[in-house]
């Protein structure tokens, strides 16, 4: 049993190297893989992602990662951190392509519906404050309302307040992070967010495993 | 609260950094990777790298270079220069850039932007529109490092690019480039008001007040500049610099 291996899941969507590099800055040598067996045996998982929701679902299913993820995360309780599209995939369903996600969180993904289209452009790109809604080991040592980097056109609507980890304002208040047990998802990009981003990874890497798969 | 991004734009020529005035008179600034290191320390919001001769020379910005930047950069960065295929975008994003910037080929084949945004999501696809006024005062879209005009007005082209799925548009005034006299606020405002995707202002910024104006009066979501972040003082000594967070918080 390989333990404590940090796996960055490669399903053909987006910028995996920037996550790997950020981890190497804190001395963690993460592996990028699409191999279901390695994913199953990982100590911790990171699910990044940039791109189209339905394309991501298609890729996860085609590569066999989808089924393995459910087993890893729901049965073996392997800690997982979803980033951006990775978070969205953990939800029930997305307007982007109108397909179902992994359904780990009771939340849906919708397109930003801003009223002031001149002031609030979509995608929401840039630095914005992240307000932590509940105590979480992921935000240990991070000042509340720190700035993180966002790039997204779709956001989460949570149906379960208990799962809401962070909120952010872009014309209106939206859910920018979710967490439940071993599952964490962030709409913003810690891998692109200077020192506070590094701290998020540090905290994630140092999380205790919620249960032992052995 | 959301605040606009302040984005240093770094021009590449023969693997070195250069800075131009009105797309001419290139001056060597230094080593790009060294600049990235300094911008890390200065906590820059985002960086842009443009290989300015790539399209003209029929090549694409070097992946090796992007990899080197990615290894250093602690912030998101976008790259542009000669990008024409989905495969190139895949490699560039995979190598570590957050976004790709397309200029010449967007005008030569606008449908490419649709193809690119459908594959990678709009957020990664940035179109840079280089604008110069014609003899009759019409704002035209230029390509190939400002050397060739197209049939598109800048406003019309911005709308086409939005329709094709671009996630963001950089509006660059060729005539303001390197002048440090301020952005063309009218141009930026008119385009910003006619599309619903983010606009990044580029060309002419010389001081913080210019950034503020482009945000408040031009409705730009990103404020980009070259000279302002590489020059210092009235004699334009080369010194990489960036406004500190305190200054930014007082103006936005």
ipTM for the whole complex? 0.89
Cα separation, B163 vs A82, in Å, equals 30
Residue A109, strand partner residues: A94, A156
pLDDT-above-70 percentage for chain A: 96
Cα separation, A90 vs A102, in Å, equals 5
Average pLDDT of chain B is 95
Residue A128 tokens read as 């914005």
Per-residue pLDDT, averaged over B193-210, amounts to 97
Cα separation, B14 vs B35, in Å, equals 16
Q: How many CB pairs under 8 A join A and B?
A: 100
Q: Which residues of A touch B43 (CB under 8 A)?
A: 194
The 10 Å Cβ neighbour count of residue B64 is 10
Q: Which residues of B touch A52 (CB under 8 A)?
A: 118-121
Q: Which residues of A touch B64 (CB under 8 A)?
A: none
Q: Nearest residue on chain A to B89, judged by CA atoms? A: A14
Which position has the higher pLDDT, B63 or A52?
B63
- The beta-carbon neighbor of A123 closest among B4, B5, B123 is B123
Q: Which residues of A touch B78 (CB under 8 A)?
A: none
Whether residue B197 and residue A121 make contact (CB cut-off 8 A), yes or no, is yes
Whether residue A21 and residue B93 make contact (CB cut-off 8 A), yes or no, is no
Residue B166 tokens read as 């671009």
pLDDT-above-90 percentage for chain A: 86
Q: Indicate the DSSP class of residue A209.
A: P
Q: Which residues of A touch B76 (CB under 8 A)?
A: 149, 151, 189, 192
Q: Inter-axis angle of helices B154-164 and B111-120, to 10 degrees?
A: 40
- The beta-carbon neighbor of B2 closest among A21, A126, A189 is A126
Q: What is the pLDDT of residue A78?
A: 96
Cα separation, B186 vs B206, in Å, equals 17
Q: What is the pLDDT of residue A211?
A: 41
The 10 Å Cβ neighbour count of residue B28 is 12
Per-residue pLDDT, averaged over A53-67, amounts to 94
Q: What is the pLDDT of residue A128?
A: 96
Its CATH architecture, for the domain A6-205, is: 3-Layer(aba) Sandwich (3.40)
Q: Among residues 127-186 of chain B, which lie with CB inside 8 Å of chain A? A: 167-168
Length, in residues, of chain B: 252
Whether residue B219 and residue A119 make contact (CB cut-off 8 A), yes or no, is yes
Q: Quick check: bond before B72 cis, omega within 30?
A: no
pTM above 0.90, yes or no: yes
* Distance (Å) from the alpha carbon of A177 to chain B's nearest alpha carbon: 16
Domain B5-251: assigned CATH number: 3.20.20.70
pLDDT tens digit sequence for A71-118:
999 999 999 999 999 999 999 999 988 899 999 999 999 999 999 999
pLDDT-above-70 percentage for chain B: 100
Residue A108, strand partner residues: A93, A157
Domain boundaries, chain B: 5-251
Whether residue A194 and residue B43 make contact (CB cut-off 8 A), yes or no, is yes
Average pLDDT of chain A is 93
Q: Is B184 a catalytic residue?
A: no
- The beta-carbon neighbor of A123 closest among B71, B122, B199 is B122
Whether residue B118 and residue A50 make contact (CB cut-off 8 A), yes or no, is no
The 10 Å Cβ neighbour count of residue A95 is 12
Q: What is the pLDDT of residue A213?
A: 38
- The beta-carbon neighbor of A126 closest among B4, B122, B193 is B4
Of A3-12, A107-116, B58-67, B160-169, where does mean pLDDT reach its minimum? A3-12
Cα separation, B29 vs A182, in Å, equals 48
Residue B50 tokens read as 């443009």
Interface of chain A against chain B, CB under 8 Å? 14-18, 21, 50-52, 55, 85, 117-129, 149, 151-153, 169-170, 189, 192, 194
Per-residue pLDDT, averaged over A17-43, amounts to 93
Q: B197 touching A, CB under 8 A?
A: yes
* Distance (Å) from the alpha carbon of A207 to chain B's nearest alpha carbon: 23
pLDDT tens digit sequence for B58-95:
999 999 999 999 999 989 999 999 999 999 999 999 88
Which of B108, B186, B195, B101 is CA-nearest to residue B151?
A: B108
Whether residue B167 and residue A125 make contact (CB cut-off 8 A), yes or no, is yes
pLDDT at B198 over 60: yes
Q: What is the pLDDT of residue A20?
A: 92
Contact predicate A112/A126, CB 8 Å: no
pLDDT at B9 over 60: yes
Count Cβ atoms within 10 A of the Cβ of residue B246 and give its class: 0-12 exposed, 13-18 middle, 19 or more buried: exposed
Q: How confident is the model at residue B169 (pLDDT cuts 50, 70, 90)?
A: very high
Of A11-15, A82-86, B176-180, where does mean pLDDT reach its minimum? A11-15
Find the catalytic residue in B25, B111, B130, B247.
Answer: B130
Cα separation, B195 vs B216, in Å, equals 17
Q: How confident is the model at residue A212 (pLDDT cuts 50, 70, 90)?
A: very low
Q: What is the pLDDT of residue A209?
A: 55
First-residue to last-residue Cα distance in chain A? 8
Contact predicate A81/A123, CB 8 Å: no
Q: What is the pLDDT of residue A14?
A: 73
Alpha helices for chain B (secondary structure H): 32-41, 63-72, 86-95, 104-108, 111-120, 154-164, 185-194, 208-216, 227-230, 245-251
Of A18-22, B169-173, B217-221, where does mean pLDDT reach its minimum? A18-22
Cα separation, B119 vs B90, in Å, equals 9
pLDDT at B143 over 90: yes
Q: What is the pLDDT of residue B1?
A: 81
Q: Nearest residue on chain B to A146, judged by CA atoms? A: B1
Per-residue pLDDT, averaged over B149-168, amounts to 97
Q: What is the pLDDT of residue B123?
A: 87
Contact predicate B107/B141, CB 8 Å: yes
Whether residue A169 and residue B2 make contact (CB cut-off 8 A), yes or no, is yes
Q: Inter-axis angle of helices B208-216 and B185-194, to 10 degrees?
A: 30
- The beta-carbon neighbor of A121 closest among B75, B94, B221 is B221
Q: Nearest residue on chain B to A49, judged by CA atoms? A: B120
Q: Which residue has the tokens 């694409």?
A: B60
Question: What element of type H or E holds A56?
Answer: helix A53-62
Count Cβ atoms within 10 A of the Cβ of residue A141 and give its class: 0-12 exposed, 13-18 middle, 19 or more buried: exposed
Q: What is the pLDDT of residue B94?
A: 85
Residue B121 tokens read as 């999501």
Q: Which residue has the tokens 């602690």?
A: B74
């Amino acid at each position: 049993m390989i333990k404590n291996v940090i796996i960055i899941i490669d399903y053909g969507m987006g910028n995996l190297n920037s996550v790997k590099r950020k981890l190497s800055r804190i001395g963690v040598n993460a592996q990028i893989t699409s191999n279901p067996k390695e994913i199953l045996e990982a100590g911790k998982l990171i699910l990044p992602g940039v791109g189209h929701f339905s394309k991501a679902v298609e890729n996860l299913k085609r590569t066999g990662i989808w089924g393995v993820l459910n087993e890893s995360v729901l049965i073996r309780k392997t800690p997982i951190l979803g980033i951006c599209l990775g978070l969205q995939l953990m939800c029930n369903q997305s307007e982007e392509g109108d397909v179902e996600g992994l359904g780990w969180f009771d939340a849906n993904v919708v397109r930003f519906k801003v009223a002031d289209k001149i002031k609030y452009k979509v995608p929401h790109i840039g630095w914005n404050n992240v307000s932590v809604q509940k105590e979480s080991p992921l935000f240990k040592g991070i000042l509340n309302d720190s700035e993180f980097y966002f790039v997204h056109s779709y956001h989460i609507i949570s149906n379960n307040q208990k799962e809401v980890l962070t909120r952010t304002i872009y014309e209106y208040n939206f859910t920018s992070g979710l967490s439940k047990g071993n599952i964490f998802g962030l709409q913003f990009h810690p891998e692109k967010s200077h020192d506070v981003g590094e701290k998020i990874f540090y905290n994630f890497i140092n999380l205790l495993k919620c249960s032992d798969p052995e | 609260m959301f605040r606009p991004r302040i984005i240093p734009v770094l021009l590449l020529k023969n693997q070195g950094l250069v800075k131009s005035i009105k797309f001419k008179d290139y001056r060597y600034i230094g080593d790009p990777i060294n600049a990235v290191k300094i911008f890390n320390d200065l906590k820059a919001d985002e960086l842009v790298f443009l290989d300015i001769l790539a399209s003209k020379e029929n090549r694409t910005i070097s992946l090796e270079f992007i990899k080197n930047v990615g290894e250093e950069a602690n912030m998101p960065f976008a790259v542009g220069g000669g990008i024409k295929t989905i495969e190139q975008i895949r490699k560039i994003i995979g190598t570590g850039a957050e976004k790709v910037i397309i200029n010449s080929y967007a005008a030569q084949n606008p449908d490419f932007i649709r193809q690119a945004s459908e594959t990678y999501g709009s957020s990664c696809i940035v179109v840079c529109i280089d604008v110069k006024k014609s003899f009759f005062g019409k704002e035209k879209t230029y390509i190939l490092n400002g050397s060739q005009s197209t049939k598109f007005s800048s406003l019309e082209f911005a709308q086409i690019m939005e329709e094709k799925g671009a996630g963001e548009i950089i509006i660059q005034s060729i005539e303001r480039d390197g002048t440090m006299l301020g952005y063309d606020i009218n141009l930026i405002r008119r385009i910003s008001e006619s599309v619903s995707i983010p606009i990044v202002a580029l060309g002419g910024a010389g001081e913080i007040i210019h950034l503020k104006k482009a945000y408040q009066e031009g409705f730009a979501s990103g404020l980009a500049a070259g000279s302002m972040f590489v020059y210092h003082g009235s004699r334009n000594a080369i010194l990489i610099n960036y406004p500190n967070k305190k200054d930014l918080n007082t103006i936005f």
